[in-house]
Structure 1
């Protein structure tokens, strides 16, 4: 369906692709992986025709309908959420507008062009019906509901939405329109776990082809059946889901490492022979033969090793056994009761996952636990020797844009030795020149790592984390999970990432209209006991 054939592309002195090949067949679900800056966005641009290769070619049928979802905030007018979504249906939406114009003209039966207008109306109506136009609103409402919009929000103005919810509208527009191929750049960003599960089901049922980048391991495992990896300018294809890709890649890397080492040993032997017998006339022909062989031999390149991050947390001081006692907690916003006489007891070493639908009060609860939001009634009692660290997405926005990474950490810990600060930065992936980067150029993932580094410098023995994996790639998520598994403290967190939940939770509290329900056990045990992966599972 679409192909890259021997594509070479260079930006200045940087060779992005060298003889790269890619093929996506009709109906294939493909994951695109590679380190930051490897060229994933450029692959999308090549397939869309927005970028031309220096060498090679891009094959794409002329009538192929391609939809793309990018991490760009679009500008919207004053339409409703529903109207803006329906407008994304392309030709079908345009036909709807033409039908309205023709219907208005047909009210004038004395129009001399009445017969032509009537004929045109019949043609447009047939095309509109064939394109599913008459159920366009219903389909748009179903998609918006799946992505977490309440009915009153669907008919409300899009201008009232935050950036993250506007991104959901962009995604809804894309899913509503008919496409043969979807190019999706991190489609699960800004989604809650219920919306991710709905999107996952939608993508699996989609009859067209998909090429996507995604930092959610579960989505990659359940949707894609082929993975294309950008590997040092080439594209390697692996059949299977993400877990299968990791196993195959490890095996492939081991084989290439063995071939490389075998060739290096052979080259070393031949070089020793040449050096030893270079000056002996009796061995001249053999020396010459081996020298020619070395000139002609095709060198085996060593496999490029994936950079694994390792976050090193210092051991926190031991807290008392009773870490948090939530007593008759009440919180309201206007007339709306978010929490009504909430009761919880958190003990040392426990790892609590807070779950609930949008609006259930997950973030509100974490803010009250962290002491940044007062309850309307009741209290949060913090136990003896508890040192609390709080991570929330707004902390990324509070980072000083004019400072470098090093300056931000030094401002947070002014008494710390420069070597300690550099060690902390290195532990969170800022090494070499990266520590001198100004904050305003950092990606979302880099800002998350910096905010985590600041919080963990103080080494609290209670961590309250609100969506700590947002904007983190799979490699960084894996490092954070490993560090938190080794963390000798207490953890209370909200996350939409099922792999994160599965790896860490030892208690699950589900917030709902009837009050909190506590499940003693892991996330997998919660799924078994509740019969669902998230509190507000929505049907496709």
Structure 2
């Protein structure tokens, strides 16, 4: 369906692709992987024709429809979310638009002399609309939006009033409703809660077209894809299998290549030693010449290109008291909506609580109450003795100084730390080389989030309160963070939609449901086994 043939592409001074080739065939579900800046988004844009390769070509079979979801959703306002989604539904939305124009024309007194032709055309268009199942379109659009956690009021309200994250869900819903022959999804799992993520996973599993997607959620990708295309050093390497198979195969390939490299290096060293030893002896001249020519013809094996992921290690944090967080009789309402009513909750030292609940259940509210960003209507929230809190929330990015560089922000926050530790810290969170001199104002939302997290973790707290800490982190940085937090000696209270993160770090689960609040000993993996679902209200 789509062929990428010997493409080369350079952006500014950065080479993205060098004579790279790959293909997307009917029915394939492919995960596109590679480090940040490798060229994943550029590849998508070349497929849809928004960019051109410098050399080679990208060809799409005639008649193949493509739906492309990107992080840049553009402006949306003046229509309901349902209308915005229906407008992107491919041919049926064009027919619907003509139907609306004809309906307006039929009641226009200035067009009475055209009425016979308008009515005849209306009949033709209406038949085509029925053929495309257009009258079911509104219901299907609502079904998709409901799967992405929209309430009825949000579906019918002005899309312009929604936050950026919810507008991204609207843009995603447009592509899903369209059901094109090929879907190109660039980070569809960003901005989704766990319930929406699981719904999308099931939708994509049942989707019959071809899929090419990126995702920083390894569990999400692993359950959907049956092939991986990796961008590595300008090449497109294909692996048949899911993400776990790719990881294992890549490790085996690196090991094999390293062994080949070492064997060849040993052979080369032996040959060079012989040449150096006998090059001055006339009796060995022919043998020396023969070996020199042999070395000139050998194809040199390169060592494997290993991606550099710097490990982050916590400095020892001061020990807190045994009772870290204590909520007694807490009530919290927003208008008529009751979030908590007489809620009691105790967190003890070294417990790692993940908070589960449907959208709007009060997960972030609980974190805000603990952090002091919100006050209870009734009851008390107390923090224990010697507790030093680190709180990560999306609004924390607002405190960054846009005029400072990344390094200046770190240096201002930790004036006694010294350059080397701060540069190492920046590297751990994806700011290497010249990146450290970027002004904060030019950083993306994800880069700002990584900077806030780096600043929070460098001066170690003994209580971490984290609201969706893995949003925007690439797979390698996320893995680094999980490894670092697994060594953390303190206490954690967190919300996350990343199942790998949940399973790796939690040892307690707090589930908030309309029927009440439930506590589970054991982490997320045990919670799934005991409840039979991966998120509240969803059966696995």
TM-score under structure 1 length normalisation: 0.95
Moved more, 115-124 or 75-84: 115-124
Q: In 1, distance between residues paired with 2:139 and 2:48?
A: 30
Match of 2:80 in 1: 80
Match of 2:442 in 1: 441
Q: In 1, distance between residues paired with 2:99 and 2:426?
A: 60
Q: Quick check: 2:77–2:161 contact (8 Å CA) kept in 1?
A: no
Give the 3-state SS of the residue equivalent to 1:516 in structure 2.
Answer: strand
TM-score under structure 2 length normalisation: 0.95
Offset of residue 261 of structure 1: 1.6
Match of 1:4 in 2: 4
Give the gaps of 5 or more residues in structure 1: none
Q: In 2, distance between residues paired with 1:426 and 1:108?
A: 66
Match of 2:234 in 1: 233
Match of 1:373 in 2: 374
Moved more, 255-264 or 223-232: 255-264
Moved more, 100-109 or 247-256: 100-109
User: Structure 1 residues 370, 112: closer, same or farther in 2, change over 3 A?
Assistant: closer
Q: In 2, distance between residues paired with 1:305 and 1:491?
A: 32
Q: Quick check: 2:5–2:21 contact (8 Å CA) kept in 1?
A: yes
Pairwise CA RMSD of aligned residues?
2.0
Q: Is 1:132 paired with 2:133?
A: yes
Q: Quick check: 1:348–1:490 contact (8 Å CA) kept in 2?
A: yes
Q: Quick check: 2:533–2:539 contact (8 Å CA) kept in 1?
A: no
The correspondence of residues 370-409 of structure 1 with structure 2, limited to 5 A, is 370-409=371-410
User: Structure 1 residues 122, 148: closer, same or farther in 2, change over 3 A?
Assistant: same
Match of 2:65 in 1: 65
Q: In 2, distance between residues paired with 1:290 and 1:116?
A: 88
Offset of residue 372 of structure 1: 2.0
Q: Quick check: 1:445–1:473 contact (8 Å CA) kept in 2?
A: no
Q: Is 1:143 paired with 2:170?
A: no
Q: Quick check: 2:310–2:427 contact (8 Å CA) kept in 1?
A: no
The correspondence of residues 219-368 of structure 1 with structure 2, limited to 5 A, is 219-368=220-369
Offset of residue 296 of structure 1: 2.2
User: Structure 1 residues 88, 538: closer, same or farther in 2, change over 3 A?
Assistant: farther
Moved more, 179-188 or 5-14: 5-14
Offset of residue 510 of structure 1: 0.9
Q: Quick check: 1:312–1:427 contact (8 Å CA) kept in 2?
A: no
Q: Quick check: 1:221–1:241 contact (8 Å CA) kept in 2?
A: yes
Q: Quick check: 2:219–2:499 contact (8 Å CA) kept in 1?
A: yes
User: Structure 1 residues 107, 160: closer, same or farther in 2, change over 3 A?
Assistant: closer
Give the 3-state SS of the residue equivalent to 2:31 in structure 1.
Answer: strand
User: Structure 1 residues 174, 211: closer, same or farther in 2, change over 3 A?
Assistant: same
Post-superposition Cα deviations, 1:282-341, rounded to whole Å, max 9, x if no partner, equal 222222222222222222222110222311111111111111111011111122221111
Q: In 1, distance between residues paired with 2:141 and 2:11?
A: 41
Q: In 2, distance between residues paired with 1:481 and 1:347?
A: 21
The correspondence of residues 520-535 of structure 1 with structure 2, limited to 5 A, is 520-535=521-536
Q: Quick check: 2:428–2:477 contact (8 Å CA) kept in 1?
A: no
Q: Quick check: 1:309–1:475 contact (8 Å CA) kept in 2?
A: no
Q: In 1, distance between residues paired with 2:420 and 2:49?
A: 48
Match of 1:29 in 2: 29
Match of 1:203 in 2: 204
Q: In 1, distance between residues paired with 2:84 and 2:22?
A: 34
Residues paired across the two proteins, number: 539
The correspondence of residues 496-507 of structure 1 with structure 2, limited to 5 A, is 496-507=497-508
The correspondence of residues 84-103 of structure 1 with structure 2, limited to 5 A, is 84-103=84-103
Q: Quick check: 1:481–1:503 contact (8 Å CA) kept in 2?
A: yes
